[in-house]
Structure 1
Amino acid sequence: MDSKDIKIVVTGDICINSLQWITYPQNSEGFNWQTHLNMHSILKPGESLLLSELVSLSTGACVLSPKIDDIEQTLSREFLRSTAELSLFSKYTDGRSKEKVYRVSRFLGFTGPTASNSKLLPIIKDDENADLVIIDDENNGFNLNVEYWPLAIKTLGKAPIVLYKLNNPNGSSNLWKHLESNHLENTIVIINADDLRSKGVNISKSLSWEKTAQNFLWQIENNPNLAFLAKCHHLVVPFGLEGAIYYRNDRITESRLYFLPYEFEGGLVNENQGRMYGLTSSFVAGLAQSIVVDNAKKELLAISINDGIRQGMVNAHKYFIEGFGKNVEETPFPNPAVFIEDKSNIIKKKHVQDVRIPCSTNINCPSCWYILKDKSSTNLAGIAYDIVKNGEEKVLNFIPIAQFGNLKTVDRIEIESYRSIKNLIWEYISTKNTVRPLSIAVFGTPGSGKSFGVTEIASSIAPKLIKKLDYNLSQFRSPSDLINAFHRVRDYSLKGRIPLVILDEFDSSFDGKLGWLKYFLAPMQDGVFREGEATHSIGKVILVFAGGTSSTFKEFCGKGILDENDQKQFNSYFKTAKGPDFVSRLRGYVNILGVNPTDDTMGDQLYIIRRAMLLRSLLERKVPHLINEHGEAQIDNGVLRALLKVPRYKHESRSMEAILEMSMLTQARKWEQSLLPAREQLKLHVDEEQFLRHMMHDAFYSEKIESIAIAIHDKYRSLNKDNIDYDENFIKPWHELSEDLKDCNRDEVKHIPEALLRINYDITSVKDKPQVKEFTQVELESLAEYEHTRWYLHRKDAGWSYGEVKSYKDKTDPAFVTWDMLPEEKKNKVYEVIKIWPEILANSNFNIEQLKFTCQCEHKSIEQGII
């Protein structure tokens, strides 16, 4: 079916948009009015009138809708009107051109109709057999007036697809009750996230996609005001231009998040780019576009929605970019170019990623769900190696990445903390007549980059306005040093700058523990500092308190102290030092995670990704000649493994940077093991024994394959020596085994590391015998299936085949079947072999190390065999 044969009805509330803008005189000659500022105004269609034009352009189908032929001539005061002021704004934010277009600089409000109800218009040539019905319900009267509803939804027996765009989450309207009773199965509800928030629905914004998605799912399942939306078979919620959620509740109950990896909600549009009405309408037009195309292919509705969300996000972004054009009176609006795909598109459908939102996560646990975990089939170590080798742009193009100036992070906890700080700084800068400073605390181990992170965030917001000032409190000898620092801060504030004051090691001792805190209270609370009898205003300033003795906010507040007496002692001196008063004046804090794993290792397995991103950055900045023309880093696998896997860097990122600078790489073509600093020099920054063991891991393991194979065989013999059902060839001493069986055992050992990687474990060489790992039942089953499949392929290559009787001469075996077909008693034999691995590996000084990052919630589930 051609799209022109599809009938679409578009209707809903009617609004006329009155646009006003000012132009400057072009010359000083001509009539008097031509030499002054000129005020222009024009009327444009809004709400359902605009939506019908967008749908017509996007689909090319026959669109039946209300019409106003000449909006300027037929304008009646019976219609609702919206007035907006326009200005010229840069078309793009990336500086690709100096072209400017008109967008809304200020919405001036509505002008109500002369009557109590806004005038509505009938659908021209309405058709009860319409294939697709699109309704724009702005809660301006249409949902109450049945006579204006489309015939296709009022006629019994008709079942069109309905796109129901609404801005008021209210399940009591007559229109919704009608759709719920008669068309729920084929209705797709579209409501903007900001419209939900405006009605008191608590969904986080611009922190992380995971948190936004979890908040939404919790609200839709628990908020009684959204109970009617939870009944929707298909609910689509756009989050700005950058994301959307598809909540499906028909035969399948599932929610999916769609997002742009390098952007967060609101990130594509700067404050100095203006605004546009009709963004959700252009998104709906994209949904309609995909439904029309897929209808010709007779695709399922859910598949059409999946594609339509991507198309809608592309359309909405292009619609914003085009604005009202560079000449409002001459540029067509809406612009047909919005729906023409070309190479210049900044956002393309392929850029939009999607992921299923888990419904079992703990909304208060930020470690419960990472998109990185769900979107990658590779373990974290594999991703980390790939980042260093090929660059994050090629590897991390499917997960959320936050960038603030030169700072990049993929860690959800860091993203949420950094974006919270960015939001605080932005609000503070934007607020006028602020009398008190913005106080933020930053914690992390020395070398983790505490001041760097906040500085990059501030610079990404207002680099010309903010002036960074650094002070280390451990170097101050008296309060007068602090007063002198505040005078300098005040000087910059009086010059119209906003000082970003880094107060490093603010928690250092001064006349006792935390002795400096009491001197910060007045500046933090009242924005003043005292010098003798004089009181000075410090002005508009951002105070950043960087911890020197506490690596986390929790540690600073003493919340991790387990001993009751120690806790009481801490509370006493913390109160005496004015700790609670200081904390109450903070408006935010961030824990910088750095390149070392946090103490909460169960919740922090992403340290290896942080290390990889830093290492790749160091290679690009300090030794770019080691990056070839294809963007591939030339680094030995052993060196890379050691740098990423060594347990701790003694001085965080400074140590990683030092090891690179100490290596002889100036004339090198590849970072080989021989170019590393001497063992004694490595000791300054890492445990050199552990570092070298990681570097030599492959060699260590290769050397021990034979001994591990013998140990596994001997253990297996001892467990089954009295079992008459076992093949005597398997319980012979190692030296009596045939070479074929020895090779089979060696092949098993060679593939143990690969098997463990499949369940997100790695083996590492350690100096002392580690604790023996015990596999969960779920892990055991996964390993056993892998091991049987490996054995099957190994035997197949050796010429074996299925036979009812096992024969070494004929190379037949009744176990030569797939895992699913293997009898239970033979599966148990495979389980027994797998259970031997951890003990033998531990005896050979190999530790089984978890790669899969889990939170405490998930770890409990794994231990119980739930997941």
Structure 2
Amino acid sequence: MALSTAPNVIIDVVGSATTEWLNYPPKNDSKDEHYGPNRETCVTKVHGGAMLLAELIKNLSGLASNYDGVVKGPDEIESLANISGPEEIESLANISKFRHVQVTLIKDPDHRSKDDAKGCFRVDKTSEINELSKFVTESKLFLKQCQNEEIGEEMTKILVISESQGRNNGQLDKIELRKKYKKIIYSVFPSYGNEPNYLEGIEKFLESLKPSIPELIVVVDAKDLRIQGLKISRQLSWERTVTDLVQNLKCHKSLRRILSFPHVVITFNCDGAIYFNKNMENLKLYFDPRSAEGDFSWLYNETMTGLPSAFVAGLATNLRMENDMEKVIDSGIPLGIKAARELLRKGFQYPDGDSTNANGYPTPEYCKISIDPNDTKDNITGIPIDPKVADSNDWTILAVRSQQQSSQQPADNPQEHIAEKIVKYGWDELKDVPVAKFGNLVTADRQEIEGYRVVANLVSGYLSKDRTKPLSIAVFGYPGSGKSFGVKEVIMETSKKKSKLEILELNLSQFTDFQDLVSAFHSIRDITLSDKTPLVLFDEFDSESKTGTNWLRYFLAPMQDGRFIDNGVRHPLGAAVFIFIGGRFNNFGDFKNYCKSDPASKAPDFESRLNGFVNVLGLNLRKKPKNRHDNSDHSIHNRAVLIRRAFVLRSMLMGCEEKLFKDGKILQIDDGVLRAFLEVTKYRHGARSVEKILEMSSLSNQERFTYTELPSKDQLALHVDSDEFTNLLKSTAISVDECGKTKTISFWSKMKKKRTL
């Protein structure tokens, strides 16, 4: 690359140089000269591996201001003209210096996102054509050539190694790095199988660098760590992901050696990454607060080649900007995730004005993403986490954020401060906290998020295949906690594009005998025969009939075999989703204890047939903590309840009177009223009590919710402790103004000011 002046940065990219052969459907009426032998597909080639990585680094580096540098990667020197059929491709691959991969493309059948490009191709499947035996030699020759170049002392030389998992077998360590690189990224891309000596090549490479080891970042993929046996949960919560990594990595016989590497980045699809340094002294999570692992790729039909290269390119782009490696990583990881997302959004597309070929990767401008910090298209946030905190099973990102905010802006209760902001300004105030949204259900509680995502994962997997017996899930929670609403929203949102569901709600407390249940099973079967999947909610499944009938025993055969008996005749139910909503037990633990204490009820057999369960958080506070730093179970519960109350209260107020919301968003409400709703200890009937208090309030055509709009004390007593509620109205409160600042104000001083006016 010729420059008018000497460059200040040189980035050498070495490793698995890949040629990807794309099989893609031609445009209508196309006379594409690259038709395959069956004349139904076209064939073209694109760069992959180290060649693609070098191109992406060039593209992304061009975004940086005052950047004067050179990016060098392996060049394609093979003649690839007149290659169309699979035999010619395979013949070339067998004598090639590069790795060859076949990629089958299909037209994107289902755009799930509203902002993506139309008319692109997605990856259907990939397969390797040749075994790699020569690319290591080619990499070594290229690297020696790079080192023979004369460079000035003022230059920064960076090495990026792109290795397909286990393929190099540590051969690069035999290269004498005579001109030492100041910074090195060693990226291990996902492989097609289980490589037994996954980290051995990296360890040998580290040994070869001694005694002077440069700043080294090792990038690995969570998928490969799981293949190697590391137990990391997927698509539950980011807290669970971090805890699984911290708890299991140090115990893993072979993978724990990764703790000895200077800097490690573990990627989780296009949704997040975890960074830690040697011995995990520092740990930081980077994530999209609105996505779980895999959510973003699901929007674009899962697959796109080159995503790991895009991430590493974003990370490498920042290497020349800072001497502090942790600062480089802190800014580079979000950029890498954004680059991978941009590549996935665009997919494979025809170049403009050319209908005879498929553009292998998006043209360079598609890979150029904005590095403007104010760009909010992809909100990737980072949070440092104490490894000791992450080693526990009940920590939350919300609590960590609250503690950080309280240290900067002291308040009586940091969680209350956040709850007030949610009620006044909406749940977007939790922009740096994980929030799960399923249809009209929004929750920021870790326990609920994990429970609902278990349901979503179960339902998604169940509906993706043909089934002959029901999926069975139990839901527990206090009366009025929104059990039915929550689980319906999750399942209906998850089932979109997968199956037509028809909801059937049955309350077993209204059933008299077994024949009522048989009639219900026939109704379920009728829905199945109409080519729909029944979503059946058995409310109060743990109740008994008026005659003392225990229903659990009658569900055993339908749950196990997908059949029921009517007058001695067995009838198939077919595929269905059974949701068992508890009435007697407020959580699964209580139900489990009941199963142990009463085996004659067949409860243990019923429990064994469940595919999963959810505990829905209620709205009632427990014993108040002595101080705001209390980490007892009661305090942790109360913090979660405050946030849940905030979500419920704002949602219900939005349905009461639109004039209460300034500019359609900012709720106008007295601080004392808001404090009373958030801090009263108990709602007698859960969310139904909140709803009834609002219905009894005089809010019609009101532009502000004050204490005068509330119902009388006697009416309040139907749903709360009216003395406690009114005392909270009069107490000193923390007010959050429109700039997000807090101030202390007394109810009585406010009333005195009104009377003076």
Shared fold (TM-score, shorter chain, > 0.5) = yes
1:687: how far off?
1.1
Alpha-carbon RMSD across the aligned residues, in angstroms, is 3.4
1:582 is paired with a residue of what secondary structure?
helix
1:247 is paired with a residue of what secondary structure?
strand
Aligned counterpart, 1:132:
158
Give deviations 1:670-702, integer Å, cap 9, x for gaps.
111111111111111111111111111139xxx
Matching of residues 334-413 of structure 1 within 5 Å: 334-342=362-370, 348=376, 351-361=379-389, 363=391, 365-367=393-395, 370-374=399-403, 376-377=405-406, 379-393=414-428, 395-413=429-447
Matching of residues 723-738 of structure 1 within 5 Å: none
1:126 is paired with a residue of what secondary structure?
helix
Worse-superposed segment, 115-124 or 12-21 = 115-124
Aligned counterpart, 1:203:
232
Task: Show structure 2 runs of 5+ residues with no match.
Answer: 63-68, 84-91, 190-194, 624-632, 737-741, 748-757
2:702 is paired with a residue of what secondary structure?
coil
Give the whole-Å Cα distance in 2 for the aligned partners of 1:277 and 1:170. Answer: 24
Aligned counterpart, 2:42:
40
Aligned counterpart, 2:339:
315
Alignment of 1:142 onto 2:145:
no
1:142 is paired with a residue of what secondary structure?
coil
**CA spacing shift, 1:650–1:577, aligned 2, 3 Å:** same
Alignment of 1:10 onto 2:13:
yes
**CA spacing shift, 1:253–1:343, aligned 2, 3 Å:** closer
2:699 is paired with a residue of what secondary structure?
coil
2:688 is paired with a residue of what secondary structure?
helix
Give the whole-Å Cα distance in 2 for the aligned partners of 1:342 and 1:113. Answer: 38
**CA spacing shift, 1:533–1:452, aligned 2, 3 Å:** same
Aligned counterpart, 2:123:
104
Alignment of 1:165 onto 2:187:
yes
Matching of residues 36-185 of structure 1 within 5 Å: 38-60=40-62, 61-69=69-77, 72-73=80-81, 75-79=92-96, 80-89=99-108, 93-96=112-115, 99-107=118-126, 109-113=127-131, 120-121=138-139, 122-123=141-142, 125-127=145-147, 131-139=157-165, 141-146=167-172, 154-156=176-178, 158-167=180-189, 170=197, 173-174=200-201, 176-182=203-209, 184-185=213-214
**CA spacing shift, 1:342–1:365, aligned 2, 3 Å:** closer
Aligned counterpart, 1:489:
524
1:93: how far off?
3.5
Give the whole-Å Cα distance in 2 for the aligned partners of 1:241 and 1:135. Answer: 21
1:508: how far off?
0.5
Give the whole-Å Cα distance in 2 for the aligned partners of 1:323 and 1:429. Answer: 26
Give the whole-Å Cα distance in 2 for the aligned partners of 1:106 and 1:472. Answer: 46
Aligned counterpart, 1:462:
495
Aligned counterpart, 2:66:
none
Give the whole-Å Cα distance in 2 for the aligned partners of 1:215 and 1:71. Answer: 48
Give, as a single letter, the amino acid of the residue that structure 1 aligns with 2:124: S
1:181: how far off?
4.7
C-alpha contact (below 8 Å) 1:104/1:275 kept by paired residues = yes
Alignment of 1:273 onto 2:290:
no
1:316: how far off?
0.7
TM-score by length of 2: 0.83
Give deviations 1:633-675, integer Å, cap 9, x for gaps.
1111111111111111111111101111111111211111111
Give the whole-Å Cα distance in 1 for the aligned partners of 2:6 and 2:383. Answer: 30
Alignment of 1:192 onto 2:221:
yes
Give the whole-Å Cα distance in 2 for the aligned partners of 1:597 and 1:447. Answer: 14
Give the whole-Å Cα distance in 1 for the aligned partners of 2:249 and 2:722. Answer: 53
Give, as a single letter, the amino acid of the residue that structure 2 aligns with 1:424: L
1:260: how far off?
1.1
2:433 is paired with a residue of what secondary structure?
coil
Give deviations 1:230-275, integer Å, cap 9, x for gaps.
001100111111111111128x820100111111111112266241
Worse-superposed segment, 642-651 or 176-185 = 176-185
Give deviations 1:555-608, integer Å, cap 9, x for gaps.
11227xxxxxxxxxx845x20100110100011101111322369624302101
Give deviations 1:313-344, integer Å, cap 9, x for gaps.
11110011121124593536353124423599
Give, as a single letter, the amino acid of the residue that structure 2 aligns with 1:477: T
Matching of residues 615-626 of structure 1 within 5 Å: 615-626=649-660
C-alpha contact (below 8 Å) 1:474/1:505 kept by paired residues = yes
**CA spacing shift, 1:114–1:218, aligned 2, 3 Å:** closer
**CA spacing shift, 1:430–1:682, aligned 2, 3 Å:** same
1:127: how far off?
2.3
1:407: how far off?
0.6
**CA spacing shift, 1:571–1:59, aligned 2, 3 Å:** closer
1:177 is paired with a residue of what secondary structure?
helix
1:591 is paired with a residue of what secondary structure?
strand
1:26 is paired with a residue of what secondary structure?
coil
Give the one of 261, 266, 269 matched to 1:232.
Answer: 261
Give the whole-Å Cα distance in 1 for the aligned partners of 2:661 and 2:538. Answer: 38
1:71: how far off?
5.8
Give the one of 549, 558, 561 matched to 2:584.
Answer: 549
1:622 is paired with a residue of what secondary structure?
coil
Give deviations 1:450-474, integer Å, cap 9, x for gaps.
1111111111112462211100000
1:489: how far off?
0.8
Aligned counterpart, 1:635:
669
Give the whole-Å Cα distance in 2 for the aligned partners of 1:488 and 1:37. Answer: 50
Alignment of 1:474 onto 2:509:
yes
**CA spacing shift, 1:329–1:217, aligned 2, 3 Å:** farther
1:123 is paired with a residue of what secondary structure?
helix
C-alpha contact (below 8 Å) 1:87/1:103 kept by paired residues = yes
Give the whole-Å Cα distance in 1 for the aligned partners of 2:729 and 2:291. Answer: 37
C-alpha contact (below 8 Å) 2:165/2:198 kept by paired residues = no
Give the one of 314, 318, 324 matched to 1:290.
Answer: 318
Task: Show structure 1 runs of 5+ residues with no match.
Answer: 560-569, 700-750, 755-759, 766-867
Identity of aligned residues (%): 32
Give the one of 732, 751, 757 matched to 1:698.
Answer: 732
1:157: how far off?
6.5
C-alpha contact (below 8 Å) 2:349/2:362 kept by paired residues = no
Give the whole-Å Cα distance in 1 for the aligned partners of 2:705 and 2:172. Answer: 75
Give, as a single letter, the amino acid of the residue that structure 2 aligns with 1:78: I
1:111: how far off?
1.6
Aligned counterpart, 1:563:
none
Give the whole-Å Cα distance in 2 for the aligned partners of 1:190 and 1:47. Answer: 14
1:117: how far off?
8.4
Give, as a single letter, the amino acid of the residue that structure 1 aligns with 2:481: S
Give, as a single letter, the amino acid of the residue that structure 2 aligns with 1:77: N
2:264 is paired with a residue of what secondary structure?
strand
**CA spacing shift, 1:244–1:583, aligned 2, 3 Å:** same
1:399 is paired with a residue of what secondary structure?
coil
Worse-superposed segment, 94-103 or 647-656 = 94-103
C-alpha contact (below 8 Å) 1:375/1:398 kept by paired residues = no
Report how many aligned residue pairs link the two structures. Answer: 681
Give, as a single letter, the amino acid of the residue that structure 1 aligns with 2:433: I
